[in-house]
Amino acid sequence: MTVIDDLIEALGTDVVLTGDAIGGRYRSDASGTGRFLPLAVLRPASTEQVSAALAICDRNRQPVVPMGGLTGLAGGANARARDIAISLERMSGVEDVDTAAGTMTVLAGTPLEVAQLVAETAGFLLPIDLGARGSCQIGGNISTNAGGIRVIRHGVTRDNVLGVEAVLADGTVLSSLNRMTKNNTGYDLRQLFIGSEGTLGIVTRAVLRLRPLPAARLTALCAIESYAHVVSLLKSAQRGLSGLSAFEAMWQSYFRFNAEALNLTFFDKAYPFFVIIEQDVDGSDEDKDRFEAFLGQAFDDGIVTDALVAQSEKEARAFWSVREGHMMDHLLPGLINLDVSLPVGQLDDFAGDCEKAMLARFPAAHVSFFGHVGDSNLHVAVWTETPSEHEIDAIAYDLVRTYQGSISAEHGIGTLKRDFLDHSRSEAEIGVMRRIKTALDPNGIMNPGKVIPPR
Ligand SMILES: Cc1cc2nc3c(=O)[nH]c(=O)nc-3n(C[C@H](O)[C@H](O)[C@H](O)COP(=O)(O)OP(=O)(O)OC[C@H]3O[C@@H](n4cnc5c(N)ncnc54)[C@H](O)[C@@H]3O)c2cc1C
């Protein structure tokens, strides 16, 4: 009997897809770097089925790749032809909203947006939020420790996960579905599965922290003359705007490209920097007055040169459409989007050095910068006529190492950044990662080849 026969016998053919039943979408995550369809795709409907599947695979030394919504940008969910994929797509749904505690218990395959809407209906905000919300899954968000646009106010995914249920490589179900903020009872096992990109187990359920739902959100687009002024605006917004929920900066070339592509004009000239500021508020008239007074003060102080306050949801969407940059992805096929982290004060120095280094190697490259500046997270968008991802990565990550930054702020390591992990992590740290991996997955079946570089 083959491992596939074992799996079919235990789980049935509706769970185990093979051959032509495997659709092309299982080939790659959103990085577009996946090349193979897996040997089989398992679509379990319960934790018990995940456990049975992993126990069989472990006995047979069969490598498995967990798949969430496949929106990852680091190649973490890509399978090789000999791997078996375990997709969480049928384990979807919110099981419970605890309104007293402000928590929700969610199955790992639940799309983020579905969980957000259930939270909203119950009068809460699920603060994890990112552009891929319609397709990415809670299990994928946990496994990548996703960041996104609300981190400045509510932290990364790690800060919003109270408990996790996960299945280990040998099929052991580890239920750490804690619901309390305080729980100092030994090792915090949920942390093993947050950000480990499916290399230590499969997340099947989670308890998420909810926040009060803001009544309204105020949004402004600011034009700024220098990076020093961007930092000053950030500092004064952190001091003066309670409920600051986004602070997103765009360097001129990024802003101009996307605004022109969308046929949107906001200001009479192209300033060096543009910042979207958002504040969550109660919804009173005074909130708007205070927001405008804050911007007026920044203008008087010479920090902001011009600013537009969105008068409607539609206007706010227009600001965000430039920031989200979908037109750039569309018009520059093969665009490489790097995701790095550096001390806030150094983001622009890094951007200048990075652009110089890219242009020295690729004189016709289009290089632009944007990011969650409030979280010291810079995205570098690089397009060249002859895309050479490894070379572009090496230029950027060598520079990140010089700046003592992180080669991955929020997208994770997957396969694409694996060979650069030592640019941001010491030998001792990578050594401990290997020891944890061996302890939890002695046969090395969980998402092999991802995150941890080979010896
Ligand atoms: C348009 C767009 C915008 C994005 N914006 C952001 C952003 O602002 N911030 C950000 O951080 N990311 C962003 N991303 C990246 C991506 O959406 C996140 O990494 C997301 O968390 C991945 O979730 P997923 O369900 O699609 O996971 P997948 O891509 O399916 O998987 C990602 C990794 O997690 C593992 N995995 C998935 N599910 C499980 C599970 N249940 N148990 C164990 N391991 C699992 C996979 O093996 C893989 O290693 C964006 C992507 C796109 C396409």
pLDDT in tens, 79-101: 999 999 999 999 999 999 999 99
Alpha carbon nearest to ligand 1 atom 16, residue: 72
Distances from the Cα of 435 to the Cαs of 59, 109, 203, 378, 418, in angstroms?
21, 29, 20, 31, 17
User: For residue 36, which of 28, 47, 46 has the smallest C-alpha distance?
Assistant: 28
Residues facing residue 242 across a β-bridge: none
For 94-212, give the CATH class.
alpha beta
- Over residues 139-161, the pLDDT tens digits come to 999 999 999 888 999 999 999 99
Q: What is the pLDDT of residue 387?
A: 74
Nearest CA to ligand 1 atom 15: 72
Q: Please tell me the distance between residue 351's alpha carbon and the centre of ligand 1 in angstroms.
A: 26
Per-residue 3-state assignment (H helix, E strand, C coil) for 274-316: EEEEEEEECCCHHHHHHHHHHHHHHHHCCCCCEEEECCCHHHH
Listed by start position, the domains of the chain span 3-87, 94-212, 216-326, 332-424
- The CA 154 to ligand 1 mean position distance, Å, reads 19
- Residues with Cβ within 6 A of ligand 1? 29-30, 65-73, 76-77, 88, 108, 130-132, 136-137, 139-141, 143-144, 146-148, 197-198, 202-203, 410-411, 414, 447, 450
Q: How far is the CA of 133 from the centre of ligand 1 (A)?
A: 10
pLDDT at 147 (0 to 100)? 94
Q: What is the pLDDT of residue 149?
A: 85
Residues 189 and 60: their CA atoms lie apart, in Å, by: 27
Q: How many CA atoms lie within 13 A of 216 on its CB side?
A: 16
Candidate of 128, 143, 196 to mutate for ligand 1, largest count of ligand atoms within 8 Å of Cβ: 143
φ and ψ at residue 17, rounded to 5 degrees: -95, 135
pLDDT at 313: 95
Structure tokens at 291: 């927001």
pTM over 0.75: yes
Say how many Å lie between the CA of residue 28 and the centre of ligand 1.
12
| Closest approach atom of ligand 1 to CA 410 | 11
244: β partners: 279
Residue written as token pair 């498995």: 64
Nearest CA to ligand 1 atom 27: 140
Long-range contacts from 326-332, C-beta under 8 angstroms, 24+ separation: 327/257, 327/258, 327/261, 327/262, 328/254, 328/257, 328/258, 328/261, 328/368, 328/381, 330/261, 331/261, 332/366, 332/381, 332/383
Write the single-letter amino acid at 333. Answer: P
Atom of ligand 1 nearest to the CA of 65: 47
165 within 8 A of 47, measured Cβ to Cβ: yes
Q: How far is the CA of 109 from the centre of ligand 1 (A)?
A: 12
In this structure, the residue with its CA closest to atom 36 of ligand 1 is 140
Domains 3-87 and 216-326 share a fold: no
**Residue 307 backbone dihedrals phi, psi, to 5 degrees:** -155, 145
Nearest CA to ligand 1 atom 7: 148
Q: Residues 376, 382: contact at Cβ < 8 Å?
A: no
Give the pairing type, strands 16-18 and 202-209: unpaired
What is the model's pLDDT at position 83? Answer: 98
Q: How far is the CA of 359 from the centre of ligand 1 (A)?
A: 31
Distance 179 CA to ligand 1 centre (A): 24
2: Cβ–Cβ under 8 A, 6 or more apart, which residues?
none
Which residue among 25, 27, 73 is best mutated to probe the pocket of ligand 1, counting the most ligand atoms within 8 A of its Cβ? 73
Using the mean position of ligand 1's atoms as its centre, give its distance from the Cα of residue 216 in Å. Answer: 28
Give the model's pLDDT for residue 283: 81
**CATH code for the domain defined by 3-87:** 3.30.43.10
Q: Does domain 332-424 have CATH number 3.30.70.2740?
A: yes
How far is it, in rounded angstroms, from Cα 67 to Cα 85? 7
Segments in the chain below pLDDT 70: none
User: Residue 282's pLDDT is what?
Assistant: 87
> H/E element holding 356?
helix 347-361
Distance CA 19, CA 23 (A): 9
Residue 285: what pLDDT? Answer: 82
Which DSSP letter does residue 455 get? Answer: -
- Can you name the CATH fold of 216-326? Alpha-Beta Plaits (3.30.70)
CA of 357 to the centre of ligand 1 (A): 30
